[in-house]
Chains A and B, each alone.
Chain A
Amino acid sequence: MKIAVCVKQVPDTTSVRRLDPATNRLDRSGEGAINATDINAVEEALRIKEAHGGEVVVVSLGPAKALDSLRKALAMGADRALLVSDEAAAGSDLVATSYALAKALERENADLVLFGQQSSDSDGAVLWSAVADRLRRPLVSQVADLGIDGATVTGKRQTEFGYDVITAPLPAIVAVSDAINEPRYPSLKGIMGAKSKPAETLSLADIGVEPERAGTRGSRTTVLALAPPPPKGDQVKIEDDGSAAEQLVDWLVGRKLL
């Protein structure tokens, strides 16, 4: 069983995140971290490998330093990393990103491709479905419980209305929810070992992405303008000194909510 896990390096959510007004793009110059919910996908891949054997390869698109985030997945136990890094890919939207990622995944030809639930920088939860369509493979998303039986994957999908249990033949694309597992922490041995694991960086040309299908040229959406958010109104935050309930009631009465 070969499993590819798609991971993204995002700006550290504890730092100040901003869009660069010069380019209207996310400022990625600061500290980067592996997107939190992608770690659940890496963990799930490792568990499947432990149960069924095989190989786990982590795949990413991003700047050269995204390799640091891939190393974290290697430290957890993934076998190999593939980073597609190219200046020409900067500013890619869903159309361009899904095209490039599908090309990278075609090259890997994994039995199972896993995604995490949502990227913390773009708040997107869309990439897996676009990639599944490009690869013409079945998709199961929002999976809170995943099983593999022979050549069939079974996922418990969370929706607004309850659970749907969905089966799909391999090869398939699965997007897991962060409810699926509690990821392990890399061991010291894992961290040391990650340094010697294979980590390959490829250009867009290496994976067969035409220049006109990447970056701004390959994108079909655009950022027109940035503005500060509307004022939220006066936010009140108090520490309870025994009178918080009274203060809250007065405040609610003032707003005619009581």
Chain B
Amino acid sequence: MSTLVFLEHHGGVIQKGALGVLARALALGGDVAGVVVGHGVADAAASAGAFGATTVYVVDDPAFEAPLPQPRVDALEAVVAASGAENILFASSVLSADIAAGLSARLDAGLNWDVTDVRIEGGQLIGKRPALGDTVLVDVGWTSTPRIALVRSGAFEPVETGGSATLHDVAVTLQDFSTAAQIVEQAHEQASGPSIEDADVIVAGGRGLGTADGFRLAEELAAALGGAVAATRAVVDAGWYPYATQVGQTGKSVSPKLYIALGISGAIQHKVGMQNSGVIVAINKDPNAPIFDFADFGVVGDLNQVAPKLAELVRARTA
């Protein structure tokens, strides 16, 4: 079985989620190759060798400078044709979801998304997918070749193997409509303070903090725990906290050992970014908030009371 892993990169760095999917693909066996699409990406492509990719297909052209999905569908179509890949795996992201879905239509190839594991059974690829708010676990299959999967973010950890990759350049013919959309401006914030993607402890704040000032509660608790502060999309939109701290579908995906959610309802768009956390603690005054369905420890109460007291108790223990 031959598998192609889409290695999404940002700022010349292959994303951790994609390297995790690469590790899983290598563990499944068969021929595994990576694919990197962009402009000036030879170094990024070569860097995948240290994570076990012996073959990396490279589509390198100024047309792929901007992180837009439609030209990448053309690129993937060409790489699938050149490589004969039977499985095409993506780590889920805003960009990768659009590429995988476009490719599914282009090739009439089945796409299963939100997959948390893949295995081979009787020569068949089978995906595992929690559905309906994780109330049921579904085994999903494909009736086409190739088969496409979007893997839930954080499902697999990268494995550093050492080694080097052989790069294969692939030329791509772009469709006229693929290049019609263009990026005219990018507003990417650099994170200040500890990165939430590397933090062992995250204290996240939502609308329940009341105001931008309310984030002082989250910061105080994070400082006591030696952790980082994160935020929901709603409060980032409201300007309470920087974009770089946003967790969820259009933000970062995090998997700390401990995730403390302050005043966060737990909508699906937030959940997808933090559900792989080791332990989830939720403090919320609404007893019916969905976050209590998947929190390991839930406190129904006033976070203005509970959070400062918690910070004080933690400080007393670590003093």
A123–B301 alpha-carbon span in the complex (Å): 30
A95–B100 alpha-carbon span in the complex (Å): 12
Binding-face segment, B42-50, B52-60, B102-110, B155-163: B102-110
Cβ of B306 within 8 Å of any chain A Cβ, yes or no, is yes
Number of A-B contacts (CB under 8 A): 269
Q: Which residue of A lies closest to B197 (CB)?
A: A160
CB-based closest 6 A-B pairs: A240-B301, A220-B110, A162-B188, A126-B101, A129-B101, A220-B144
Q: Contact: A236 with B296, CB < 8 Å?
A: yes
Whether A125 contacts B249 in the complex (CB less than 8 A), given A229-B130, A245-B309, comes out as yes
A132–B68 alpha-carbon span in the complex (Å): 13
8 A Cβ contacts from B87-145 to A: 93-95, 97-106, 108-114, 126, 130-144
Given contacts A129-B97, A220-B110, A242-B305, list 8 more A-B pairs with CB under 8 A. Answer: A126-B100, A167-B184, A168-B181, A172-B181, A227-B138, A229-B130, A240-B299, A240-B302
Cβ of A189 within 8 Å of any chain B Cβ, yes or no, is no
Q: Contact: A237 with B300, CB < 8 Å?
A: yes
Cβ of B279 within 8 Å of any chain A Cβ, yes or no, is yes
Q: Contact: B138 with A19, CB < 8 Å?
A: yes
Q: Contact: B313 with A246, CB < 8 Å?
A: yes
Cβ of B310 within 8 Å of any chain A Cβ, yes or no, is yes
Cβ of B182 within 8 Å of any chain A Cβ, yes or no, is yes
Instruction: Map CB proximity to A onto B264-276 as digits: 1 under 8 Å, 0 otherwise.
Output: 0000110000000
Binding-face segment, A64-72, A114-122, A191-199, A201-209: A114-122
For chain B, the count of residues having a C-beta within 8 Å of the partner chain is 94
Q: Contact: A244 with B141, CB < 8 Å?
A: no
Cβ of B175 within 8 Å of any chain A Cβ, yes or no, is yes
Q: Contact: A19 with B94, CB < 8 Å?
A: no
Q: Contact: B186 with A163, CB < 8 Å?
A: yes
A91–B279 alpha-carbon span in the complex (Å): 36
Q: Which of B133, B137, B140, B186 contacts A164 (CB 8 A)?
A: B186
Cβ of B241 within 8 Å of any chain A Cβ, yes or no, is no
Q: Contact: B279 with A221, CB < 8 Å?
A: no
A237–B94 alpha-carbon span in the complex (Å): 33
Which A positions have Cβ atoms within 8 angstroms of B? 17-19, 24, 26, 93-95, 98-99, 117-118, 120-134, 136-142, 144, 154, 157-169, 172, 177-179, 219-230, 232-233, 235-240, 242, 244-246, 248-249, 251-253, 255, 257-258
Q: Contact: B301 with A118, CB < 8 Å?
A: no
Least distance between B142 CB and chain A CB atoms (Å): 6
Cβ of B213 within 8 Å of any chain A Cβ, yes or no, is no
Q: Which residue of A lies closest to B114 (CB)?
A: A123
A residues in contact with B138, CB < 8 Å: 19, 24, 223, 225-227
Q: Which of A132, A138, A257 contacts B258 (CB 8 A)?
A: A257
Q: Contact: A95 with B104, CB < 8 Å?
A: yes
Cβ of B73 within 8 Å of any chain A Cβ, yes or no, is yes
8 A Cβ contacts from B6-21 to A: 10
A residues in contact with B150, CB < 8 Å: 126
A249–B221 alpha-carbon span in the complex (Å): 12
Least distance between A38 CB and chain B CB atoms (Å): 14
Q: Contact: A164 with B185, CB < 8 Å?
A: yes
B residues in contact with A128, CB < 8 Å: 98, 101
A171–B269 alpha-carbon span in the complex (Å): 29
Whether A222 contacts B298 in the complex (CB less than 8 A), given A123-B114, A141-B94, A160-B252, comes out as no
A255–B280 alpha-carbon span in the complex (Å): 12
Q: Contact: A248 with B98, CB < 8 Å?
A: no
Q: Contact: A138 with B70, CB < 8 Å?
A: yes
Least distance between A177 CB and chain B CB atoms (Å): 7
B residues in contact with A239, CB < 8 Å: 287, 299-301
Whether A229 contacts B269 in the complex (CB less than 8 A), given A95-B109, A238-B300, comes out as no
Cβ of B81 within 8 Å of any chain A Cβ, yes or no, is no
Q: Contact: A224 with B139, CB < 8 Å?
A: yes
